[in-house]
Amino acid sequence: MSFVDIPAPHGRLEGFLWDVESPRAAAVVCHPHPQHGGTMHNHVAYRIARAFRDQQVAALRFNFRGVGRSTGSYDEGRGELEDAHHALDFVQQKYPGIPLYIAGFSFGSRIALRLAVSEPRVERVLAAGLAVDLFDYGFIRELRKPAAFIQSDRDEYADLSRVESLIAQVPGPRKLFLIKEADHLCTGRLKELEEVASSAVRWLLSVDYEAADRIERQA
């Protein structure tokens, strides 16, 4: 594990890289809302990154602009999406030739999904804690890449039926993993979060590449 500086037009992004030997892929993990205490050290983002690492996937967490040692200031999602692009550039340069994934929690899940829709380099995405009562996620109807979703069944920022209905409209391979009896932050349910995150990462890695490629070609 090591702290890294990720180049960005506004200066740098502070990151934390979980390196692995002979990685099968590399994942960028986006944290919750910067204006509500979200950082790369968030316990959900941390456990998602660890789940990737445990499956031999290098994992990069980073602070959005204006958080921690990252330069710049909050930009209502626009600049944060650019930050995620720069984090992806960083892992691609460090691990050339391997698949690139994107992941995120809460606000970070929306950034991750937006990047997965718009960025051809992203092959797969893991999105946790979709706050559908706060943010618009309608754009994921365009997502044609393998996607794993993690959701607490008692999330105070997302009615579960709305989340299920939205995910059902995703055309690409997708699967919803539920954390039972848990709120948005998985208070008191971290062990269950760890188990679900591990299952979600294993599923994401196991999705048939040829089937995913067919969906991409039909887009």
**pLDDT for 219 beyond 80:** no
Residues 37-73 have pLDDT tens digits of: 999 999 999 999 999 999 999 999 999 999 999 999 9
CATH code where residue 51 lies: 3.40.50.1820
Distance between CA atoms of 55 and 78, rounded to whole angstroms?
Answer: 31
Per-residue pLDDT for 214 more than 90? no
Instruction: Output the pLDDT for position 94.
Output: 97
SS3 content of the chain, % helix, strand, coil (to 5): 40, 25, 40
State the pLDDT at residue 209: 55
CB atoms within 10 A of CB 30: 32
- Its domain, for residue 28, covers 2-218
- The DSSP H or E segment spanning 212 is helix 209-218
Number of domains in the chain: 1
Q: Quick one: what percent of the chain has pLDDT higher than 90?
A: 93
Q: Would you say 47 and 189 are in contact if contact means Cβ atoms under 8 Å apart? A: no
What pTM value is reported for the model?
0.94
Q: Are 205 and 24 in contact (CB under 8 A)?
A: yes
